Amino acid sequence: MTGHRRRRDRVLTRFAGVLVATGAMVATAFVVASPAGASVAAPTATISGWAATAPLSTARARHTATRLADGRVLVAGGVSSKAVLSSSEVYDPGTGTWQAAADLPVAVADAAAVTLPDGTVLVAGGAGTATELYNPATNVWTVGPPMPEPTYSTTFAATLPNGHIFVLGDIAAEYNPANRTWRALGAAPAMTRPSNNDTTMLASGDVVTLRAMEYSCCMPGAPMTGPSVYHWATDTWTTLPVPPVNPGDRNVTVAALPNGNVMLGGGVLNYLWFPQSAGTVMEVDPTTGSWTIDAGTLYSGDVLVSLPNGSILATGGSSTADVDHVYSPTARTWADVPGRNSDHATLTPLANGTVLAAGGYSDRNYDSSYVVLQNQAAIFTPTPTSTPPPATHHIGDLDNATAASSLRKWQPRVTATVLDATGRAVSGATVSATFTSHKGTLTCVTATNGTCTLGGFSLGRSTLSTVLRVTNVAKASSTYASIANSDPDGDSNGTTITVKRT
């Protein structure tokens, strides 16, 4: 990403009694913004990744968007300029068109929706304990079993590895589609700070959320706790360490990275009348709790989206220039792409690797609070990526030490540090090595800091030195690149080191 642009935080605007969170709107080449029901022709030209597609029949925000089993996308509920909506419609990526679907039994906004194993869609949250089920085959909605406790805030839902549905709003709950029952998840922390896109599911099925983070009282609030992790296999919660830099005291979004970490960005530092973009992008390892500051800065309100090709799209932020950003986890760099001038659009990954953005709102007058709900829709196509080089690791340092085991014996020890191609510590690597004056091969496994120690056997005092030689470093899904072995302090070549008796 290049440069910094003027930023604007979201404000709260009322549409005929409906409270809607709104953000900055900036110029774009193909925005389709219109009141509900208006007919607007959608250009089809592709602009650096984004291409407009047919607009929604109803302009809406705070709606759900769910990919169906057949690849189509169901959009349901939300708010118009006048009321909470019960209408729904279906997008067909094959034809690029929308078709009206049946109305929901209960109008809903800020809900979450997920496709169940049998192909039906569950809509939950945003409307107390009410839930609704949609059958795409019959185009029929039915009232679902009520949630165990009401939730009215922005809701997240995803399918757990056991087929159950994890739902997070003001509460955490689990739905069992097989017997249509709910249960509240015990020992969940208080979800006091719900926000859009503040929760993500990892490949393991565990869930990382920011909405239980605690902040200090003053503006801007500083985090006093880190993100929370729900471990589905044990039905337990843990809290990660506090971020090293304030990610913002509101509007922070998250996305899962291919390496298992979670990226945070797009937050706002709330200085009352003059909110500022937190800017900093960082990631946390949900297993170890270690934090890393990543390159680049984001605009306030940028939403992070995990793309099917492993990259991260940051879109919808507040700036005077209409710019989105794409992060490459392999290169650990950001690239700017023209944006699409829409905030709070739903972003749904499609089966072909593209992403459908639908609805949302936009402020055409940057210095006013006039907000236009949008019926625009667009497709983001990630830049084709070449096959990334295979992951490699190597010895990044060898350090020796000795210890006396008795008056007549001593013990050599060598601490090995294993790094990946980017210089980051590699945990769980098995280092194999031999010592002269000692039979057999010794092994050790690196800790989270990438180090482990070899040796510990005894040699007679008459043996003045011994030489360690690293014979292999094994790590799943990574290749040992011995040619890259090195030692920054120069006491070895990264492969062999001499340990002298002291």
Which of the four pLDDT bands, split at 50, 70 and 90, describes residue 4? very low
Segment 23-64, tens digit of pLDDT: 222 222 222 222 233 222 332 333 348 899 999 999 999 999
Interval 361-389 mean pLDDT: 67
Which of the four pLDDT bands, split at 50, 70 and 90, describes residue 271? low
Segment 337-371, tens digit of pLDDT: 888 767 778 999 998 889 999 998 775 333 334 56
Give residue 385's identity as a one-letter amino acid code. Answer: T
For residue 380, the Cα-to-chain-centroid distance in whole angstroms is 18
For residue 113, is pLDDT > 80?
Answer: yes
Reduced to 3 states, what is the DSSP secondary structure of residue 482?
Answer: helix
Sort strands 323-328 and 372-373 into parallel, antiparallel or unpaired: unpaired
Residue 68's contacts (CB-CB under 8 Å, 6 or more residues apart) are 74, 90, 115, 119, 121, 136
CA distances from 341 to 149, 320, 345 (A): 37, 10, 10
For residue 282, is pLDDT > 70?
Answer: yes
Q: Which residue matches tokens 């006013």?
A: 368
Give residue 393's identity as a one-letter amino acid code. Answer: H
Give CA–CA dist 79/86, Å, rounded.
9
Identify the pLDDT of residue 386: 54
Identify the pLDDT of residue 246: 84
Which domains can be identified in the chain, with CATH numbers?
11-380 (2.120.10.80), 392-500 (2.60.40)
The lowest-confidence range among 83-92, 311-320, 457-466 is: 311-320
Interval 475-499 mean pLDDT: 92
Give CA–CA dist 98/353, Å, rounded.
20
Identify the pLDDT of residue 235: 93
Identify the pLDDT of residue 366: 38
Q: Per residue, what are the HEC states of 279-339?
A: CEEEEECCCCCCEEEEEEECCCCCEEEECCCCCEEEECCCCCCCEEEEEECCCCEEEEEEC
Whether 149 contacts 173, CB under 8 Å? yes
Identify the pLDDT of residue 31: 24
Which of the four pLDDT bands, split at 50, 70 and 90, describes residue 433? very high
Q: Which residues of 46-61 are buried (b: 16+ CB within 10 A; e: fewer)?
A: ebbbbbbbbbbbbbbb
Whether 281 contacts 332, CB under 8 Å? no
